[in-house]
Amino acid sequence: MNYIKIFDDIEEKYNLKPLSLRIEEKEPDEIYARVGAGDFKPMCLAMHKYLHSPVMSFFAVDERKEKGVFGLLCAFQSIEFKKWVFITTEVPKDNAEFESLSKDIYSAALFEREIYEMFGIVPKNSPDTRRLKLHEEVWPQGNFPLRKDFDSKKIKDSPKSEHKLKEVEGDGVFEVAVGPVHAGLIAPGHFRFSVAGEPVINLEIHLGFTHRGVEKIFENLSLNEAVSLSECVSGDSAFAHSWAFCNSIEKILKINVPENIQYVRAVLLELERMYNHVNDIGGIAVDVGFSFPSAFASLMKESILDLNEKLTESRYLKNVNAIGGVLCDFNDDKKQVLIQNLEMLQKDLNELKKMILSNVSFMDRADSTGILRKNIAEDLGVLGPAGRASGIDKDLRKDFHGIYDKVKFNSIHCLSGDVSARLKIRFDEFEESIKIVKQFLDMIKPFESKKEQLPKIKEGYALGCAEGWRGPVLYWVKIDAEGHIVRCKIVDPSFRNWEGLAFAMPGNIVPDFPLCNKSFDFSYSGNDL
Amino acid sequence: MIEIFKNSIRKALQTRPLSIKEIPVSKEYEMLGAELKKAIKKRFSRSFHIREVDTGSCGACESEIIAATNPIYDIQRFGVDFVASPRHADALLVTGPVSKNMELALKRTYDAMPGPKLVITLGDCALDGGKFKNSYYTLSGVKNVLPVSAHIHGCPPKPIDIVKAILILLGKTK
């Protein structure tokens, strides 16, 4: 019970009324603290300062039918106590507004804009209320899709406006617009560079082109359908997403997943991390025109995808996770294949390292390009490899996940925050992943795949998490008594990290943009949902 | 410094035996590829150029298209190439269920292509919206926006499926 100390300290330090504070311990690692609407902002600020945590998730729930109010929940992480701290409040349905957090906590800014465009709850005094995903050119005003009474057939038409991008004015400043359709084989997004001479002064990133309304589709799905939808949120982190989703449902229904199964999940998650990291290393190489290591890296990626198929019959680890278990079997043959492949991958990685790190002209491009400073990254709430390259040593595997306590691995972080730091993070994490998989393999006992029976369904809510290769993937899911999903809030690491790219670009030249972009490598579809 | 020289010499003179080489590219793939090469030679005189547009896919389809161009599958050797501009393209390859934000960009890309032009859809979302069918923000498939000539099934389709589908498409076009 020592985590109650958090609230005692806050009461002492910030003098916040304890009467409006209620702690309910629903889940072993989640604390929900309810406060009055007036105390919401000061409480969030206090928690943000006290826990040194960015806003991990901030969202609304439509409870107008049951209670006549919108619920607001803001999540922080307490690494010291291994707890998720939720500050919750209620806003009346007629006068739906709350005091904006984003002036004081920058990492809340994007979440606030999302709450406004999806629910129509106004963040008062907010510096930025532009839309994120429902573009002004396409979507009429006054239609809020995540409200329960929203009907897509009855969309009110109204005059559409233009999305305003920030303008930089001055002598010799001109703009370069890129996208949404790019030259390469990548997803759509719009980038607007303000350039004076060579260096970039400002970069505006306008996303939302791949918005498909995922959170709305989740509502009213049955649990098994929802698992397969979560795999399609971001295709290259299908396993992390489905694990996070299953994790939240398992917490709600109090299903104990056998440790053996969790080890298998961890192995597959590491494989996903490996193929993506090596893909990025190749991508960084090709963006400076160094195609030989890129071809080599794509061979390595292919060999891991092939390995995935041998283990689970799916190259991208889709249709593998299920609530309470996994749908693939595991035997000694597979173990053998894995061990052999790991050894080969280690050899190939050493080779790739030599090729890239010993090339002076390549490292010249990568060193001190696209620097993201630690204090900026902290304010933005950048996490995952991008954050670790800037010196933010946070990792859910080490900070939260129970099973990762059983293996030894180093948490990698650099301080320089440039492209070469992010490159080195990827190399080192790849190596750590090999170590982790080897240790888990020793512990896994062979088993046959079987479909788990769900226990009796009851209503509830919980937060599921997994450290995907881009960073923490969070699913806050609320289900009703029949097992239908009432609200599913997804936070892909890309959503919190994209701004990092915009802050890393100024001062660099436009030709370095692909390099910076690839070194971060965020998901468009995970961000846009 | 020695490392650099060693590297350059090795790159210039010798293709290093790869441990990864053991991944078997199936005989079926090679056979289909040879057929594809013939078909492309006949109808497009050696090169078939594709412009890819993502209209809201999750990224797995793109990853598989990129995999088709890696040194193992190497679809370029059969004459299929991915180009940066729609002006250079014979066909448009579309993934994703077409989100409302991408509708205009997709139409404009199509309009920029020289005729005669083909549209190929890739992945289950692009056919009819797939898992995102009845969403408020998708148009449930490319066929609601553009005339579609061929479809490649799968979530995501493997590189061999891509080759197969292009082959069937070329068999149909005269």
Q: Which of A213, A347, A358 sits opposite B137 (nearest CB)?
A: A213
Q: Decide if A208 and B71 are in contact by the 8 Å CB cutoff.
A: no
- According to the model, what pLDDT value does residue B18 have? 56
In chain A, what percentage of residues exceed pLDDT 90? 14
Instruction: Provide the sign of the torsion angle of the four alpha carbons A25, A26, A28, A32, taken in this order.
Output: negative
pLDDT of B7 higher than 90: no
Nearest-Å Rg of the Cα atoms of chain B is 18
Task: Give helix A493-504 / helix A513-520 axis angle, nearest 10°.
Answer: 150
In chain A, what percentage of residues exceed pLDDT 70? 98
Tens digit of each residue's pLDDT (9 = 90 or more) over A151-204: 877 777 777 888 888 888 888 898 888 878 888 888 888 999 899 888 899 899
Q: What are phi and psi of A417, to 5 degrees?
A: 70, 15
Q: Which residues pair with B51 in a beta bridge?
A: B92
- According to the model, what pLDDT value does residue A1 have? 61
d(CA A203, CA A166) in angstroms, rounded, equals 9
- Quick one: which H or E segment has residue A55? none
Distance from CA of A279 to the nearest CA of B (A): 10
Chain A positions touching B58 (Cβ under 8 A) are 232-235, 238, 525
d(CA A21, CA B15) in angstroms, rounded, equals 68
pLDDT of A20 higher than 70: no
Tens digit of each residue's pLDDT (9 = 90 or more) over B10-38: 666 655 555 555 556 778 888 888 888 88
C-alpha atoms less than 13 angstroms from C-alpha of A396 in its C-beta half-sphere = 23
In the numeric block, the tokens 């393209």 are attached to B89
- Confidence bin at A475 (pLDDT 50/70/90): very high
Nearest-Å Rg of the Cα atoms of chain A is 23
Distance from CA of B63 to the nearest CA of A (A): 8
Distance from CA of A236 to the nearest CA of B (A): 6
d(CA A242, CA A523) in angstroms, rounded, equals 16
Tens digit of each residue's pLDDT (9 = 90 or more) over B51-61: 999 998 888 89
- According to the model, what pLDDT value does residue A130 have? 86
- Pairing type for strands A122-124 and A97-99 reads parallel
- Best residue in B69, B81, B92, B101 for a mutation probing chain A (most A CBs within 10 Å): B101
The residue-averaged pLDDT of A379-407 equals 86
Chain A positions touching B128 (Cβ under 8 A) are none
- According to the model, what pLDDT value does residue A278 have? 92
d(CA A306, CA A316) in angstroms, rounded, equals 10
Q: Which of A103, A126, A105, A106 is nearest to A116 (CA)?
A: A126
Length of chain A (residues) = 529
- Pairing type for strands B80-82 and B91-95 reads unpaired
Chain A positions touching B138 (Cβ under 8 A) are 212-213
B49 at interface of A, judged by CB pairs closer than 8 A: no
- Confidence bin at A269 (pLDDT 50/70/90): very high
Contact A122, A96 (CB under 8 A): yes
- Confidence bin at A26 (pLDDT 50/70/90): low
Q: Decide if A302 and B72 are in contact by the 8 Å CB cutoff.
A: yes
- Quick one: which H or E segment has residue A62? strand A57-63
- Quick one: which H or E segment has residue A116? helix A109-119
- Pairing type for strands A122-124 and A173-178 reads unpaired
d(CA A528, CA A469) in angstroms, rounded, equals 18
pLDDT of B145 higher than 60: yes
Vertex A499 angle, CA A496 and A503, to 5°: 145
- According to the model, what pLDDT value does residue A225 have? 87
- Best residue in B5, B6, B99, B133 for a mutation probing chain A (most A CBs within 10 Å): B99
d(CA B53, CA B106) in angstroms, rounded, equals 7
pLDDT of A359 higher than 90: no
The residues near A248 (Cβ < 8 Å, ≥ 6 apart) are A462, A463, A464, A475, A476, A477
d(CA A44, CA A101) in angstroms, rounded, equals 8
Nearest C-alpha in A relative to B140: A212
Nearest C-alpha in A relative to B52: A185
- According to the model, what pLDDT value does residue B107 have? 92
Tell me the residues of chain B between 86 and 125 that have a Cβ less than 8 Å away from chain A.
Answer: 96-97, 99-103, 105, 109, 125
User: Following CA atoms A26, A31, A35, A40 in sequence, which dihedral angle do they give, to the nearest 10 degrees?
Assistant: -140
Tens digit of each residue's pLDDT (9 = 90 or more) over A424-449: 999 999 999 999 999 998 888 888 77
d(CA A489, CA A487) in angstroms, rounded, equals 6
What is the side-by-side order of every strand in the sheet holding A30-34?
A: A22-27, A30-34, A83-92, A69-78, A57-63
- How many Cβ atoms sit within 10 Å of the Cβ of residue A142? 10
- Quick one: which H or E segment has residue A56? none
Q: Which of A303, A305, A354 sits opposite B7 (nearest CB)?
A: A354
In the numeric block, the tokens 């294949």 are attached to A337
Distance from CA of B36 to the nearest CA of A (A): 22
d(CA A145, CA A236) in angstroms, rounded, equals 27
Contact A394, A79 (CB under 8 A): yes
- DSSP character string of A292-316: HHHHHHHHHHHHHHHHHHHHHS-TT
B12 at interface of A, judged by CB pairs closer than 8 A: no
d(CA A406, CA A439) in angstroms, rounded, equals 9
- Cα of first residue to Cα of last residue in chain B, in angstroms, is 57
- According to the model, what pLDDT value does residue B20 have? 52
Model confidence, pTM: 0.91
Q: Decide if A209 and B105 are in contact by the 8 Å CB cutoff.
A: yes
Distance from CA of A243 to the nearest CA of B (A): 17
Q: Which residues pair with A322 in a beta bridge?
A: A325
Is A529 strand, coil or helix? coil
d(CA A402, CA A394) in angstroms, rounded, equals 15
The residue-averaged pLDDT of B119-139 equals 88
Q: Which of A343, A263, A352, A272 is nearest to A304 (CA)?
A: A272
Distance from CA of B172 to the nearest CA of A (A): 26
Q: Which of A152, A214, A303 sits opposite B20 (nearest CB)?
A: A303
B3 at interface of A, judged by CB pairs closer than 8 A: yes
d(CA B31, CA A300) in angstroms, rounded, equals 25
- According to the model, what pLDDT value does residue A409 have? 86
B155 at interface of A, judged by CB pairs closer than 8 A: yes
Q: What are phi and psi of A322, to 5 degrees?
A: -140, 160
- DSSP character string of B99-168: BGGGHHHHHHHHHHSPSS-EEEEESHHHHH-GGGTT-TTB-SSGGGTS---EEE-SSSPPHHHHHHHHHH
- According to the model, what pLDDT value does residue A142 have? 82
Nearest C-alpha in B relative to A179: B105
Average pLDDT score, chain B: 84
Contact A255, A323 (CB under 8 A): yes
In the numeric block, the tokens 């190749």 are attached to A282
Chain B positions touching A189 (Cβ under 8 A) are none
d(CA A114, CA A125) in angstroms, rounded, equals 16
Is A235 strand, coil or helix? helix
- Quick one: which H or E segment has residue A394? none
- How many Cβ atoms sit within 10 Å of the Cβ of residue B145? 18
pLDDT of A84 higher than 70: yes
